[in-house]
Structure 1
């Protein structure tokens, strides 16, 4: 129990704030809602920024972490494009009407947990640090790629649905 406690208290406060925000957004996404397009882009932008911030240019002794990031981003980008969440557009207000779904909460928790686990492993065990760095970069690249793809799909669908009026 002391080990878990030490991990929790050494986690930076911003991580808990991000976790709370992602859970809150996931719970809100379980209910149907009407939102402006810019609000639909907040979580993708957070995950894209988090994914890109983990690249670590100039901090690597070899290229494998960057290669892992790029490959994972390229693999998951098309997945994000072909798996957009459904929505309709209110043509009078331009707002998005989204049905409720637990998928956003599940996705947020999976991505957060994977990123958090890799961060903890790389901070604790120096012998596993190299593999954790590569795995972390792959997770970050996959996250950024998926959300870049889903953002592209969302914006294209919004533009198409808005023009249908």
Structure 2
């Protein structure tokens, strides 16, 4: 069975999303100025996309959601470790903005996350009988959660120390 017909029948919006995410990942290779809340865009995006996928692709969403939570928790630990060597956030000269150091980790994770999501969804459409298998629902939720958790772990790894220091600065203790 060829995978080519599935690629050809993939909706255009999926390729537009992929290009957009690649653009975000390429921008993440370089230091960039942003508002602190923007750090959470990718973790929230992949969390919502994961929940959406579970509700649409998994026949046993309860199993998928449970294993997604486990995956997110495990992924947070992995992401935290992956980003441990990243430089801390810096203050920008622009009030209310920070500077996040560039890293190839974000681009790599975007490609892995998109590819994994694409493969899981394609698998369901190529083998519809898997949709009803509890083991597939378990795997779908676990992998979706793991990837999103890595985004959360990396984001928290750079955000939490900055936030603590910022809070101390505002309280005048540093």
Cα distance change, pair 63–46 in 1 and its aligned pair in 2 (3 A): closer
**Structure 2 equivalent of residue 7 of structure 1:** 6
Shift of 1:152: 3.8
Contact persistence 1:73–1:141 (CA under 8 A) = yes
TM-score w.r.t. length of structure 1: 0.78
**Structure 2 equivalent of residue 75 of structure 1:** 74
**Structure 1 equivalent of residue 115 of structure 2:** 113
Shift of 1:155: 3.8
Corresponding pairs, count: 163
Q: CA RMSD, aligned part only?
A: 2.9
Aligned equivalents of 2:139, 2:60: Cα separation in 1 = 15
1:11 counterpart SS class: coil
Measured against aligned partners, the alpha-carbon deviations of 1:57-99 in whole angstroms (never above 9, x if no partner) come to: 9x63585434432321222223334544432122662322122
Indicate whether 1:134 and 2:133 are aligned.
no
Decide which moves more: 75-84 or 11-20.
75-84
Structure 2 unmatched runs, 5+: none
Aligned equivalents of 1:56, 1:21: Cα separation in 2 = 24
- Within a 5 Å distance, the mapping from 1:40-79 to structure 2 comes to 40-56=39-55, 60-61=59-60, 64-79=63-78
Aligned equivalents of 2:61, 2:112: Cα separation in 1 = 28
**Structure 2 equivalent of residue 145 of structure 1:** 149
Structure 1 unmatched runs, 5+: none
Contact persistence 1:68–1:134 (CA under 8 A) = yes
2:99 counterpart SS class: strand
1:94 pairs with one of 93, 96, 104? 96
2:108 counterpart SS class: helix
**Structure 2 equivalent of residue 103 of structure 1:** 105
Cα distance change, pair 15–62 in 1 and its aligned pair in 2 (3 A): closer
Aligned equivalents of 2:112, 2:60: Cα separation in 1 = 29
Decide which moves more: 77-86 or 112-121.
77-86
